[in-house]
Amino acid sequence: MSIYYDEEGDYLTIFIGESKPNYGEDVEEGITLFKSQETDEIIGIGILSFRKRAKSLKDIELKLPFKINFSTLPT
């Protein structure tokens, strides 16, 4: 899993698994789902204006349109 936050642009991205060719699909204003070009499987999410959406960066709860099972991720 890779998580990147661009503080200047206030943009958070979360990707599951290894990097692969993908495309973005906007699901609402400022929320982009990234899907594998090969399988159309959701592999990540991008959130614009993340700081404005989160009340506190120390206590963040996101309702993502997919579930993450950490026990199946490679260590």
- Comparing CA positions, the residue from 11, 10, 13, 12 lying closest to residue 22 is 13
Mean pLDDT value of segment 43-72:
70
Q: How many CA atoms lie within 13 A of 40 on its CB side?
A: 0
The band of 74, judged by pLDDT with boundaries at 50, 70 and 90, is low
Mean pLDDT value of segment 11-35:
92
Output the pTM of the full model.
0.69
pLDDT in tens, 32-49: 999 999 999 999 999 999
CA distance 66 to 51: 21
CA distance 67 to 9: 26
Q: Which residues, listed in sequence order, are joined to residue 24 by a DSSP beta bridge? A: 34
